Amino acid sequence: MKKKIVKAILPAAGLGTRFLPATKASPKEMLPIVDKPMIQYAIEESEKCGIEQFIIITGKNKRSIEDHFDSAFELEENLKQKGKKKLLNEINSLKHLDFAYIRQGKALGLAHAIMRARPFVKDESFAVLLSDDIIDPDESLLQDMMNIYYDYECPVIALERVPRAEIHRYGVIDGARESDKLYRINGLVEKPDTEGAPSDLAIIGRYILTPDIFDVFEDMSPGKGGEYQLTDALNMIIQHRPLYGYVFEGKRYDAGDKLGFLKATVELALKSDHISEGFREFIIDISKKLMKD
C-alpha cells in the first residue's frame, strides 16, 4: 500500500512587493478575496484531498496567519451567545487540521522556503501550494496530481498553457508528451524571454514533491535574481529520476498582483452564495455606464 500524502507546505514568507503599500506590514497571503484570506482557499483545496497537516513558512509581519488558523475563544463565545451558528461553524471549519509554522528568516527564494520544512516532512512526499495561485474550488487539480503521483511514484508539477507574451513571468518546461495532459519533463527554464522559451507550458503554483528534493536543495547555489529557485532544484532532480508535468485546463486565478487579485475577487464574488446576486446587478450596472463613456 502506497503511503498517502497528508502534508502540505505553504510558503508565505515572501515580501509581496507587487502589492505595496498594502503589504508593508500585513501579509499578502491574508488579503481577503470575497470573505476569506487567499491562503484559506489553498488550505481548503488541500483538505478536500485528504491533507491534514500544514507547514506554513512565514516571516516578519506574518503573525496574523497564525492567529487566523488558531481558535478565537472570545469571538466564539460571542457568536455562541448571539446564536450565530452559521458564522460559528464557518470560523471553526478548519479546526480539525494541524498547523505548524516555521520562519524562513530571509526571503531567499522558493527552494530556500521549502527547505525550511524538512524537519517536519522528513522522508514523506508532500504537496506545495502557492496561495496566490487560486484554483477554482470546483476543480480537482491537486487530487489529479496526487493520483499521478500514486501511479508513477514520481514528483509531479502543475502546468498551464500561457500566451507567449506572458511566458517571461513563469518557469517554463521542455517536455515530451506522455499521454493526454501528462508530460515527462526534460528541462525547466525560469522566466525565459519569449524567443528563448522551450514551450508555452508554464509552471503554476501546485507541486507534489518527493523527499529527495531536500538533498538537492542542500547542494544548490542561488540562481536567477540571487534566489534559490525551485526551478533549478527540479532541473537537478531530473538528472536522477523522472519528473512529470500535468497540464491544468481549468480555471486558475492569478492573484499575485493587483490586477489579477481584482479579477479573482470579481469572479469569485460572482460565484459566492452570499453576495453573487447583488454583485451581479452591480457589475451589469457599472458595465452599462462604462459602455456609455
Q: Which residues bind ligand UTP (CB under 6 A)?
A: 11-18, 28-29, 57, 104, 107-110, 112-113, 130-132, 256
CB–CB of 46/284 below 8 Å?
A: no
**Which lies closer to ligand UTP via its Cβ, residue 134 or residue 243?**
134
Helices (H), 85-160: 85-91, 110-115, 118-121, 141-152
Minimum Å distance from CB 19 to ligand UTP? 6
Please report how close the Cβ of residue 111 comes to ligand UTP at its closest, in angstroms. Answer: 9
Q: Which is nearer to ligand UTP, 17 or 186 (CB)?
A: 17
- Is the CB of 263 or the CB of 274 nearer to ligand UTP? 263
Cell of 252: 486558475
Residue 123, all three cell numbers: 522522508
Shortest separation between residue 65's beta carbon and ligand UTP, angstroms: 10
CB of 99 to ligand UTP, least distance (A): 15
Nearer to ligand UTP, 4 or 18 (CB): 18
Report the run of H or E that residue 230 belongs to, with start and end.
helix 230-237
| Conformational region of residue 45, where left means phi above 0, alpha means psi within -120 to 50, and beta covers everything else | alpha
Query: Which residue number, 28 or 146, has a Cβ lying nearer to ligand UTP?
Result: 28
User: In the complex, what is the shortest distance from the CB of residue 23 to ligand UTP, in angstroms, rounded to a whole number?
Assistant: 8
Contact call for residues 189 and 235 (beta carbons, < 8 A): no
Q: What HEC string does 79-103 produce?
A: HHHCCCHHHHHHHCCCCCCEEEEEE
